[in-house]
Amino acid sequence: MTEYTTMNNEEEEDKKSFIQRLRDSVLPIKPEDSGVKKVMKQIGFAAFLGVAGVVTALLAIAVSFAL
């Protein structure tokens, strides 16, 4: 029975989008978290995405100058 449950959980993970899987791995929101804590985690993840986007853009610019 655990094998089926494990396979079912893997199928659910495959159905999630890349952003949702990343969100769950960086700052997972637990059901017992308070409303304020959930909002702060959402803001923190948005900040993480912003910083990651800026760093990616800067690396792309640096590589384009190097070539």
pLDDT the model gives residue 1: 52
Residue 19's pLDDT band (boundaries 50, 70, 90)? Answer: confident
What letters, b where the CB count within 10 A reaches 16 and e where it falls short, cover 40-64?
ebeeebeeeeeeeeeeeeeeeeeee
Candidate from 1-10, 29-38, 42-51 with smallest mean pLDDT = 1-10
44: Cβ–Cβ under 8 A, 6 or more apart, which residues?
27
Task: Give the domain ranges of the chain.
Answer: 34-66
Q: Mean pLDDT: which of 6-10, 21-25, 51-55 is highest?
A: 51-55
Answer for the pair 23, 45: CB distance below 8 angstroms, yes or no: yes
